[in-house]
Chains A and B, each alone.
Chain A
């Protein structure tokens, strides 16, 4: 579904993504990494919003640079910002995408996705009255209205409460059963552990580990969690600057 070869992106001297090789099949694939690791840059390149500096990537067999329009016909992208028109109703928000995608029988398809994401009852309310979880589901409805092959999700559960997160994950899992490939980024390792078929851990633009959560944990022994795998592969900014507990306590004492 997605073939990434040598993919790189630099901003001046900084390599946001460097020589990435990755293959994603029909699965839920999670890209994990600390802030600034290159997750969003990777997604932007795969969704044709950013041109790679080097290397190539194919989505559904189409090159992201040379056949970018073909790629966009096959995919949907939900960024983390939650961009919905608050003064439009839920239905209008979905219908807009159905229209721009040129979906046939768009009224019917819109109803179907609203129903699928359990929003039918509130479809005629303005989005400003929606809760965070409902908004995220509405964004999924927008993304699904043209029946994409691959769905790109950037931090789909960010800022949602436990119940809303569980619901979103339920929907994502049922999409995979319907044959949709899901490529996502997340900070929540427990979620990746429970729901992703495979994950890749990325740090400073480079892939450090790829595999199913159980494979990756297995390498570290019985009791290991994905958290341990993550920490083994990733050096966070906090660690690099060497947190000094004694100095910290002294500062507190002086107050």
Chain B
């Protein structure tokens, strides 16, 4: 299992050396925080920034994890994958290393966002809740990055993946409890939002910001993440050795 860490380390180093990547991934969440969070004239709350900060945290992790699906595609088309699969380490460590890297990257982006929000006056009451926010976001990142890597491997080229990504990401975000509470949604949107896994992550994170502990939500995400890893690993084994 050490190999998982080594694959993670490889991606992480490459990421930190592309300074533009690091900078660019931080700008979008900041823009949301400022241009939406601080400007949107919401009627259901007098502190929209506090309401939307958890949503933007989850969104950051969601988009970054979905985008992460391209990593495994590039390893495949550039020939890295064949070299790695000919190594004696368990083959799925490559996939797990990717999931670990994408999730860690998402948490780093979330940290910067949390600091910005704190600067703008958003607070979390207890250290335990901060830790649980990280746990929630991590589980959600694992769920989505396992999913995106699986789709990436299935599609096999980054152009198709980019179209699927842009098709999936916006509806997932908007059809969730990100921008408004369930009470003010139209009936049809409420039904969709209740089914959307993104809502689970947002609701849990929001509860943690409000000082509650959403045990059910976190447990649900943990189970979903685990199942997605199992499916992803199974599909990875099938897709990588041609029989």
Residues on A lying within 8 angstroms of B by beta carbon are 44, 47-51, 69, 72-73, 75-83, 85, 87-88, 92, 96-97, 99-102, 142
Contact = CB atoms under 8 A, between A and B. Distances in A.
Interface of B: 2-3, 6-7, 9-10, 13-14, 17-18, 78-80, 82-89, 241-243
A48 B6 contact: no
A78 B86 CA distance: 9
B6 A47 contact: no
A101 B87 contact: yes
Contacts of B88: 69, 72-73, 101-102
A79 B78 CA distance: 11
A77 B82 contact: yes
A72 B88 CA distance: 5
Contact of A87 (B13, B79, B82, B84): B13
Contact of B3 (A80, A85, A100): A100
B241 A97 contact: no
Nearest to B240: A49
B8 to A, nearest CB: 11
B83 to A, nearest CB: 6
B13 A49 contact: no
29 contacts: A47-B86, A48-B86, A48-B241, A49-B82, A50-B243, A51-B243, A72-B88, A76-B86, A77-B83, A78-B83, A79-B79, A79-B82, A81-B79, A81-B82, A83-B79, A83-B80, A85-B14, A87-B13, A87-B14, A88-B14, A88-B17, A96-B9, A96-B10, A99-B6, A100-B6, A100-B84, A101-B87, A101-B89, A102-B88
Contacts of A78: 83
B149 to A, nearest CB: 18
Nearest to A95: B6
A148 B10 CA distance: 23
Nearest to A48: B86
Contact of A77 (B6, B80, B86): B86
Contacts of B82: 44, 49, 77, 79, 81, 83
B87 A81 contact: no
A48 B91 CA distance: 12
A170 B238 CA distance: 39
Given A69-B88, A88-B13, A51 B78 contact: no
Nearest to A92: B13
A72 B86 CA distance: 6
B183 to A, nearest CB: 49
Contact of A49 (B10, B18, B85): B85
Contact of A88 (B2, B7, B10): B10
A99 B78 CA distance: 21
A82 B14 CA distance: 17
Contact of A81 (B3, B6, B14, B78): B78
B2 A99 contact: yes
Contacts of A81: 78-79, 82
Given A83-B78, A87-B17, A72 B87 contact: yes
Given A81-B78, A100-B6, 13 more contacts: A48-B241, A49-B82, A51-B243, A77-B86, A79-B83, A81-B79, A87-B13, A87-B18, A96-B10, A100-B7, A100-B89, A101-B87, A102-B88
Contacts of A96: 6, 9-10
A101 B6 CA distance: 11
A82 B79 contact: yes
The 3 A-B residue pairs with the shortest CB-CB distance in the complex, in nearest-first order: A81-B79, A83-B79, A77-B86
Contacts of B241: 48-51
A144 B241 CA distance: 24
Contacts of A102: 2, 88-89
Contact of B86 (A51, A75, A87): A75
Nearest to A98: B6
Nearest to B7: A100
B87 A49 contact: no
A47 B88 CA distance: 11
A69 B86 CA distance: 9
A49 B242 contact: yes
B19 to A, nearest CB: 11
